[in-house]
Amino acid sequence: MRTLEQACTPRRSVFDRSQDDTVWNIDNLPEIDANAFFAENYVTTGMRQLLTEAFKRLDGTSSGASGTFLLSQSMGGGKTHNLIALALLAKFPSIRKQVMADIYDPGALGKVRVVTFSGRKTHTPLGIWGEIAGQLGKREAFSDFYTPLSPPGDDDWVRLLSGEPVLLLLDELPPYFEAAQAKEIGATTLDVITTTALANLFVAVSSGKLPNACVVITDLSARAYGRGSEAVAQSLQNLALEANRSVTRIDPVRLASDEIYHILRTRLFESLPDKADIEAVADGYRQALDDARKMDLTAESADALRAQVATAYPFHPAIRDLFARFRENPGYQQTRALIRIMRNVVADMWGSGVARRAYLVGAHDVNLIHPEISSEIRTINSTLDNAIAHDIVTDSGSAVAQQIDDAGGHDARDAATLLFLSSLSQAISPTLGLSRSEVVGYLAAPDRTIATLRGALDALQGQAWYLHATQAGSLLFKNTENLIAKLETYARVNDTERESEIRKRLEDLFAPQTKAVYGRVDVLPALDQVAPNPDYVTLVVFRPGPNAVADITGFFNEQQWKNRLLFLTSDGARYSRVLERASYLRAAGAIIAELRSANTRDDDPQLVEARKIEDREQSSFYQACREAFTNLHYPSNKGLSSTPLDPKFVGNKFEAEAVIQQRLEDVGKYTTDISADGSFPNRVANILWPQESREVRWAEIKRNAAQNSRWTWHHPRALDDLRDEMVRRDTWRAHADGWIERGPFKPDPTNVSVQPLLRIAESGKATLRVKGLRGDIVYWAEDGPVSTSSPRLDGGEITTDAIRVQFLCVDSTGNAETGEPYVWTNDVGVKWDRFERDGAVWVELRAYPRGDIAYTIDGGSVETSGTPYSEPFALPAGKLVTLQARAVADGVTSPTLSVSIDTKGEEQFRVDPNRPAIWKKRHKRDATGETYDFLKIAEKYQALVGGASLAVATNAHWADVRLDEGTALAPETVRTLIAAFQDVVPGGSVTLETSRLTFSNGRDLEDMANDLREPLKATEVEQR
């Protein structure tokens, strides 16, 4: 197996530094040695397409084609090189056959007229069209377009270019357009006129009138040149749109293909070994990588590497893979730059002797301190100079990689060089860095001790300042230092602010969430800044020190609200450790803030690593706090007592309230026994309630709780909740102005509970369920006073049409005093009927159960202008009358009846769709399915069910409930009641009867009546 020096011969031009910067442009055609040019030329697929299509056009065999070609590639991508190749072949028929033998035979085509224009030539007094006409020797043909400058039309171009074959090459137009944009021509600028002129040229060439004319232009994107204003970009875009109508696009070089290896071989080497030598080298690399796989150093495929080496020889496949990563960087000239870099790499390898031992030109052979190479690298990415100087290579040999390799070898420097090249991309969402497996895969080679690579990578990662690891484990260089070094620096600078960090962290740590124990936390305050509040406990995290306990004790003794203070502190022996760890924690936070201010993404590996550092520093900080803040000091009957606190941190989390509450429960200062059924009421009575008084202001109870150190802490709502519950149980009673009285109380007098079960609107009769309270005998009287001489109630129910019924309950045992009579009041209503007599419409009114009626028929108020009703009356004929009426019986007034009556014809009852409505009609459903269907319809129209009688029954068992008309239930609530009854009476049939349905608007009432197919009657509908 032969080394590079044994097997390959570089061209002499590789070692000629004067050729490093030789960049031909199309204006240099007369100076270019065509034979020398094509000796180092490789015909790419794009060049083959260009030569074929262009010469077909020039010899007239494809006159119907567009005739305009666009070479589309970023700067340095081979566009100008292709133009020069085409121009030379057009001008010199003698070399065509040799170069184009296997491409295309243009036949007897002679020397072609070649016109070139480079956009670098920005001084064109006669415009581009004048330059083109001048090169053709026909400058006067466009004389009409010079003063002032104006664009030739397509016919003008046809007249200029007609005749012999002509090739027009337009290169690098964006710089020209940038200059032209600043030159005003009348009301416009030169770039706009030039756009029109060239657009007309493209039209002329594609029109079929110039069958042997060909135009080739290069990329019209200003971005390819890294320059140009919006106006220039717009002009170029307009020109591109014109060109795209007829242009044929060609990519000069396919950078992602093997063409790049062919170009490099042709440009840099005069001779290469035969296939057998190349296969031997490929086999050697496969074996080396296979050995590395067996040592579990890499997962790369040995067979794939062999195939790639055979194709890329004498270059390592890593070159294309790594250089492709940064080919979109601004200013990088792609093919041109790669040729320059590899020319210098090859010259350096042969000059330094590396070619004597190497078998391939590798990416790691890029010598980053070689002047020409380092200059090229800076044009690719100039932000990593510090990484090169500190971590990879310097002239003095002091870089980290060189120091690692000092004992012999070059593993660290080779690995660092690969990682550096993988870190150069500045594209959007670039691929950056290499995994350890990839580094080993790229460096595995014959005669290399691959086992030492692991140690070199470990040392490099542990010592390099600018080497970073991604979340996926890849390594890459950045222009920022390692976070650990930055942490040390930031921790030193921020020492003076460490107490501020402690305060912020402990405020977050002890911030009350449930507020069950304390409602506020003051961290490291001056004691004169602490203001106890009687409504909650304040936790004071006091600065540890030898006098801390004495200080807080003196402060405590002077306070009014002693039972609202809780202290956490210690003697200060370990507080210095808290200060130290706070410095590092603050530094970690500063690093994260810096990354976020730079809009670093959350999943960025550096930010991920910074968060890991912050987590680690938080753990250290909280552990230091645990050792420094060790004692709780709480109020007791002895003054200020203390108990040790041992907080447990899990995952940097500390449930402060829960830990403190548990510790206070252990020493009896906090209780969860706050039920009205436990000892809590007695403790309130014994400790907080003034012993000499049964009545006390509730505010005084709470004030005593805040002042009395004997009082045990509890949830802050416990006292108010106890008061509410004790009042509900009638153990305590609430009075005006916040006074509370505690029992036992004198027994209440007797009373009566009256429940209306049923009321018939037509008669005003009501069925009442009557129950005596704290007594066993009930007397009752209709429309008059009740006494023990009145009739006694038997059976618990009565039916009456009286306006008022009075009830009196008596306790025959004498234990309860006889209370005041209970008066039940009936409802009074008005009903009306319409009838006709002698051709007139008459109205009859009736009060139920009775009453005096007043009415109006002119829309006036019944209260102020009502007419007493005595007998039926006739309504005015031929008009719409509004009847309003109401009844009064024994001081009870009915709702006002309001109805519109059309005396021109039949009664026209109308429901106001926008006003609330009550449907006073009984609805009865005697089967389970019917009941559920009715409730479904009622729910659809959001009707509330009033006066419901619900039952679930079998032959042997039943359960029912009857509700008054004033209790209106949603259908869903009724279904809930049904479900409960069905649990009690399984399999029972469900029946439902209602006396009224209430609607939020009349429209829903009408819709439900239609759904039920039931007519609405004026006497059954009430709207207010």
Q: What is the pLDDT of residues 296-326, one digit of tens each?
A: 999 999 999 999 999 999 999 999 888 888 7
Q: Which helix (H) or strand (E) holds 690?
A: none
Kindly tell me if the per-residue pLDDT of 540 is higher than 70: yes
- Of 219-228, 269-278, 373-382, 493-502, which gets the smallest average pLDDT? 219-228
pLDDT tier at 493 (50, 70, 90 boundaries)?
Answer: low
The pLDDT score that the predictor gives to residue 268 is 93
0.85 cut: is pTM over it?
no
Highest mean pLDDT among 3-12, 459-468, 576-585, 905-914: 3-12
Q: Averaged over 376-403, what is the pLDDT?
A: 91
CA atoms within 13 A on the CB side of 76: 22
Question: With left for phi above 0 and alpha for psi between -120 and 50, is residue 880 left, alpha or beta?
Answer: beta
The pLDDT score that the predictor gives to residue 550 is 95
Beta carbons within 10 angstroms of residue 982's beta carbon: 15
CA dihedral 408, 409, 415, 416 (to 10 degrees): 40
Question: With left for phi above 0 and alpha for psi between -120 and 50, is residue 996 left, alpha or beta?
Answer: beta
d(CA 76, CA 255): 11
What Cα–Cα distance (Å) separates residue 114 from each residue in 25, 166, 203, 624? 14, 6, 20, 83
What Cα–Cα distance (Å) separates residue 659 from each residue in 143, 619, 653, 735? 96, 18, 12, 40
Q: Exposure of 996 by Cβ count < 10 A (0-12 exposed, 13-18 middle, 19+ buried)?
A: buried
- Of 245-259, 390-404, 764-778, 913-927, which gets the smallest average pLDDT? 245-259
381 near 329, Cβ under 8 Å?
yes
Identify residue 519 by its one-letter amino acid code.
G
On average, the pLDDT of the chain sits at: 89
CATH, range 917-1023: 3.30.1340
Residue 221, C-beta contacts closer than 8 angstroms, at least 6 positions apart: 174, 236, 240
d(CA 310, CA 274): 11
Residue 395, C-beta contacts closer than 8 angstroms, at least 6 positions apart: 369
Return contacts of 411-415, CB within 8 angstroms, 24+ apart: 411/443, 411/452, 411/453, 411/455, 411/456, 412/456, 412/457, 412/459, 412/460, 413/364, 414/362, 414/364, 414/443, 415/364, 415/439, 415/443, 415/453, 415/456, 415/457, 415/460
Kindly tell me if the per-residue pLDDT of 64 is higher than 60: no
d(CA 419, CA 425): 12
Q: What is the pLDDT of residues 969-997, one digit of tens each?
A: 999 999 999 999 999 999 999 999 999 99
Which ranges of 757-826 does DSSP label H, i.e. alpha helix? Answer: none
Kindly tell me if the per-residue pLDDT of 228 is higher than 50: no
Q: Averaged over 323-342, what is the pLDDT?
A: 76
Instruction: Look at residues 622, 535, 542 and name the one whose alpha carbon lies nearest to residue 585.
Output: 622
In the three-class reduction of DSSP (H, G, I as helix; E, B as strand; rest coil), residue 684 is classed as helix
In the three-class reduction of DSSP (H, G, I as helix; E, B as strand; rest coil), residue 293 is classed as helix
Please provide residue 812's backbone torsions phi and psi, each rounded to the nearest 5 degrees: -65, -20
Beta carbons within 10 angstroms of residue 276's beta carbon: 7
- What string of H, E and C letters represents the secondary structure of 596-655? HHCCCCCCCHHHHHHHHHHHHHHHHHHHHHHHHCCEEEEEECCEEEEEECCCCCECCECC
- Of 80-84, 448-452, 490-494, which gets the smallest average pLDDT? 490-494
849 near 764, Cβ under 8 Å?
yes
d(CA 970, CA 519): 42
pLDDT tier at 664 (50, 70, 90 boundaries)?
Answer: very high
Q: What is the pLDDT of residues 124-162, one digit of tens each?
A: 899 999 999 999 999 999 999 998 999 999 999 999 999
Q: Averaged over 940-969, what is the pLDDT?
A: 91
Report residue 609 as tokens.
Answer: 């690593």
Fold entry, domain 829-902? Immunoglobulin-like (2.60.40)
DSSP bridge partners of 215: 68, 168
Instruction: Look at residues 730, 683, 729, 735 and name the one whose alpha carbon lies nearest to residue 704.
Output: 683
Please, what is the end-to-end C-alpha distance for the chain in angstroms? 109
Kind of pairing between the strands at 923-925 and 917-919? unpaired
Q: Which residues of 32-43 are buried (b: 16+ CB within 10 A; e: fewer)?
A: eebeebbeebbb
Please provide residue 604's backbone torsions phi and psi, each rounded to the nearest 5 degrees: -65, 130
Kindly tell me if the per-residue pLDDT of 893 is higher than 90: yes
The pLDDT score that the predictor gives to residue 227 is 45
Please provide residue 224's backbone torsions phi and psi, each rounded to the nearest 5 degrees: -65, -20
Kindly tell me if the per-residue pLDDT of 871 is higher than 80: yes
Q: Averaged over 349-359, what is the pLDDT?
A: 95
Q: Edge-to-edge strands of the sheet including 917-919?
A: 968-969, 944-946, 996-999, 917-919, 1021-1023
753 near 839, Cβ under 8 Å?
no
Q: What is the pLDDT of residues 821-861, one digit of tens each?
A: 999 999 999 998 888 888 889 999 999 999 999 999 988 89
Greater confidence (610 vs 933) lies with 933
Asked whether this chain's domains 45-250 and 829-902 adopt the same fold, the reply is no
d(CA 413, CA 722): 78
Given this structure, which CATH class describes domain 751-825?
A: mainly beta
Given this structure, which CATH class describes domain 45-250?
A: alpha beta
d(CA 515, CA 534): 14
- Of 218-227, 698-707, 799-808, 903-912, which gets the smallest average pLDDT? 218-227
In the three-class reduction of DSSP (H, G, I as helix; E, B as strand; rest coil), residue 779 is classed as strand
Q: Averaged over 424-448, what is the pLDDT?
A: 91
Kindly tell me if the per-residue pLDDT of 343 is higher than 50: yes
Q: Where are the domains of the chain?
A: 45-250, 271-480, 491-666, 680-742, 751-825, 829-902, 917-1023
Percent of the chain at pLDDT > 70 equals 93
d(CA 428, CA 326): 11
